[in-house]
Amino acid sequence: MDDYEAWLRLRRESESFLNHWEPKKEKEFYSKDSFQTRVRWAKRNFSSTKVLHLFLFLKVNHNLIGGLTLDNIRYGPFHSASLGYWIGEGFSNNGFMTEGLRAIIHYANKTLKVTRLEAAILPNNNASKRVLEKCEFKYEGVGQSYLQINGRWRNHVLYANVNKNRRGSAS
């Protein structure tokens, strides 16, 4: 909860930038109560390793600059998860998200034993395409009407990062 004010400021400052890429927000999205509910939900899910919500901070001054999520973490025969991320407009295109993604890939592979990470981006999101490709995500196809962005169903380009030790091996 200590990060609420920094989160609110960053999200508000970057709202028009992020609205191009994200689903439409509920009216109460920015409220402290809503943030608190999401924090409690994230803590519960982190403990059960079902969902992992993380904030991204600058090393130099510990300012909040974005967020990363591993969602729909599946074990059993899958060992996979869906990846989502966002970064404040003033911090984009500086390599911060590349560093954050590399860290979460490492954590997912080594700690969670999740060896396939899936990401979906809008076709015109060239910055996300670059960051995913830098982090060894490979193009897999197009998800038709994959997600609503600003209230409209949009196709997304699908990518996956598959750990090299997973390919063709039995666990």
Parent domain of 35: 4-119
134 belongs to a structural domain: no
153 belongs to a structural domain: no
Could you report the per-residue pLDDT of 26-40, keeping only the tens digit for each?
999 999 999 999 999
CATH of the domain at 34: 3.40.630.30
39 belongs to a structural domain: yes
d(CA 137, CA 6): 30
What total number of domains does the chain contain?
A: 1
Residue of 76, 66, 77, 158 lying closest to 118 (CA atoms): 158
pLDDT class for 169, splitting at 50, 70, 90? Answer: low
Q: What is the reported pTM? A: 0.91
pLDDT class for 124, splitting at 50, 70, 90? Answer: very high
Q: Please tell me what DSSP assigns to residue 114.
A: -
145 belongs to a structural domain: no
